[in-house]
Structure 1
Amino acid sequence: MDALDILTNLEYIVPFFQPIFSADEHRIIGYEILGRIQTESGYESLGPFFLDETIPEEYRLEVDNVVLKKALERAAELEDDVLLFINRDAELLMMDDGEQLLDILRDFERIGITLDRLVLEITERNFTGDYEHLCHLFNYYRTYGIKVAIDKLGEDSSQLDQIGQISPNILKINLMALRSMHSTTAFQDILFSISILARKIGAMLLFENIETGYQLQFAWKHGGRYYQGYYLHRPDIDFINRDILKSKLKSEFHQFIMYEKKKLEALFSITDRFQKRIQELLMKNKNVEHYEELLFNLAKEMNHIAFRMYICDEDGFQLSPNILKKDDMWMIQKEYTQKNWSWRPYFLENIFKMKSEKKGILSDLYCDIESGETIRTFSYPLNTKEYLFIDITYEFLYEHEELLY
């Protein structure tokens, strides 16, 4: 629709509400407010209008406020624990230091819409103003109980430092990126960074644009507390029964739980088999004194599993050379002796765990620095001072599907 048609027909603007479901309650905990305009052919989204930067900011803000006021009037009929997610562009918000928005919200507080039910959903990717000033505004809003969510995450992790400054209550992750990215691994790497940040700042993850059961499982597995998308429910002009998907979500989450438990059981089983196999081989080679001979003997027995082995001390210094399988032949890399690996994530933590529990550890999946392949490492305590590391080939992981997740 033409922008002028929208501005001259404000009476036809209506709010739509897209429900947001929770993992812990299996019910609707809030609604995102979306703008629509009624036309002869039905309701049309106002999204393109709000995203069109050629339209003067004051006009976009005017329409935004019309949508908000009409939505808050409707929200008076909701239960008083239902959250309302309000979209705002950071540039538009800072036009008047956010005062106009706060005035509207405080007006509706008088009719029962308490400010602690409101979540300000901010898109700040293209914000060009004073970032510190924006952070101060969010902190000011928080004094009223208003929560802050950062929108449009999932495409890259370039603004993570800025998100850390804002310390939002909710990080909203766009699962459309999961469909559009050529590599799911790339998306998972970005998501891992976001999830670590969320944990550090105490934010919750909300996954949007969930369109399939697989995406819901992906969101659940990666720490999502809140979910929205067409797979769950489309935006609607009316509010719906909060428990509309309670039995469905309970059933689906139960399947997710069973799948994860089955996978964990398989991982524990394989770890236990590695543990017993290494114990047997070490007993068989208990009289071997030299690191290189021991590693070569182990390599013969684990030729179909491993591609690299080495031994480190408890501080991460490599006591042995690497032995590396290349073109189906095992070779020595003496230059690795005395390299230190304590800088690697979880290295010292895992050393302490092995020393304490006196058993081996199977690592998570990670990308090997040198080969670029996805691998796992099995670490094993030879004694309290020496630790064996066995890098497992991707081929072996592929043969045991449960090791690739």
Structure 2
Amino acid sequence: MHRVTQGPKFTVARAEGVWLWDESGDRYLDGTASLWYCNVGHGRKEIADAVHRQMTELEAYTVYGDFANAPAIELSERLAAHAPVADPRVILSCGGGESIETAAKLARRYFAAVGAPERTHLISRTGGYHGLHGFGTGIIGMDRFREGFGPTVEDSSVVPHDSAAALEAEILRVGPERVAAFFAEPVIGAGGVYAPEPGYFEEVSRICRRYGVLFVADSVICGFARLGDWFGIERFGVRPDMLVFAKGVTSGYLPLGGVVVDGRIAEPFWNRPGNPFHHGTTYAGHPSCCAAAQANMDILEREDLFTVAREIEVQLESAVRTLEDHPLVEEVRAGTGVMAAVKLNAEAAERGVTSPDVFTEARSRGVVVRAIPETLLISPPLVITWEQIEHLVATVRGALDAVAAR
């Protein structure tokens, strides 16, 4: 029996596999892999053991300037080998938001280095989530995350997420000679789970090449088997100029992220003396975090969670589509990756039912999903079973019924 939460506080005490326990000992199905990241599931002892071994040898040391460490080098080589980026170079960071900062600064700095310093404009998409750091807040595709902070990043704009033609029109409006980069998630995640239409990314890639705009794939949510591939963007047959990653690279066991950069973009800083890219953070390339990533990637490969994810994707879509007939549901979005969205309809709004209401009711019944305005998001660990998926969806239906009855 689960206690109905009387306030916003929910203290998670421990976790294993797809399950969470609160401080009272009640168990919950983790329907969101925390914040989209616990791809291999909770409580993997081998990741903890790998981190412990690394900490007893070299717990941490900066990689700023000429400094390096073996775990950072080995991880970077492994990531580069899997990345759909030409002649890749890897810049490590501590997470997704920090990696977006890196990619945005590098895009602008690259053009300055090749004699086009006026190319500073950054374009993103509606619904796109790119972290909440400085550049991320400036290019995020959701107004609620921008409001109340005053002016953010200058020279940025947002286009509809489902229109390549709108991207081209915006490049021409701004002036191709002023546009540095276009940022896009392979599948929009936190903004509501919107998959691209067939051919969208192929056309976007052609547009970016046509006008010399850098294409930055934000694979923070979509990577490390969430879409059945290493970085998610491979699914759409394109090669970005930069690829941002985090979250699933360690399954969240320790903070780590980074940017995979096309060799052409790295070249002015890689091969030209006296032209540094003045950017870095204290804990980037942290050897203990890199050890966690290596152990996590070992699990992804050994258990072939890429194939498993493609199977779960079908199972999750099949189950969650059964909610489309609920009187409070307008739309279900699923079928590309292990992620889904359940949008509430106008009747729900008229009756005063909100997505946080359904979230709270589902949690009181032992399932954790995520609520954004008008929508519930689902993105479980990739080790979830068919029976657990059915339990998750049945609980969400029960929660919808309960709030409807009230």
With the length of structure 1 as denominator, give the TM-score of the two structures: 0.27
Which structure has more RCO (C-alpha within 8 Å, separation ≥ 6)?
2
With the length of structure 2 as denominator, give the TM-score of the two structures: 0.27
